[in-house]
């Protein structure tokens, strides 16, 4: 795996996909962090108590979810790269503008 650690967001995506992370907006200050920490503490207790107590049986499922995300990111990156290369190849070379 490219990601060498597991992330609570990955676990939540599997166990509670309806939950949306608290993401700061452009106008938020660091005050939002208190709410984020409180929310994640609650979510850890509700959805990851087994992991917190040493039961890691969900890790293979997490690894699969992470690998799926990595594969998707690579496909998106390759598509963007191909799109960029196509745009560059269609552009006029600078010396032909003169």
Domain total in the chain: 1
35-25-76 Cα angle (round to 5): 110
Q: How far apart are CA 36 and CA 93, in angstroms?
A: 50
Q: Check: pTM over 0.85? Answer yes or no.
A: no
Q: For residue 26, is it within any domain?
A: yes
The number of angstroms, rounded, from the C-alpha of 43 to the middle of its chain's C-alpha atoms is 17
Let me know if 47 is exposed, middle or buried by CB neighbors in 10 A (0-12, 13-18, 19+): middle
Domain residue limits at 49: 8-90
Which is more confidently placed, 7 or 16?
A: 16
Sole residue written with tokens 């049986």: 57
Supply the mean pLDDT for the chain. Answer: 83
* pLDDT value of residue 83: 82
pLDDT of 55 > 90? The answer is yes
Confidence band, pLDDT 50/70/90 cuts, at residue 43: very high
Q: For residue 84, is it within any domain?
A: yes
């Amino acid at each position: 795996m490219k990601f060498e650690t597991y992330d609570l967001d990955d676990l939540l995506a599997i166990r509670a996909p309806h939950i949306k992370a608290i993401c700061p907006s452009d106008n938020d200050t660091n005050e939002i962090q208190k709410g984020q920490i409180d929310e994640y503490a609650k979510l850890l207790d509700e959805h990851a108590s087994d992991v917190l107590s040493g039961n890691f049986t969900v890790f293979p499922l997490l690894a699969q979810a992470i690998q799926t995300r990595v594969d998707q990111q690579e496909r998106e990156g390759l598509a963007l790269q191909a799109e960029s290369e196509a745009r560059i190849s269609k552009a006029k070379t600078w010396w032909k503008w003169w």
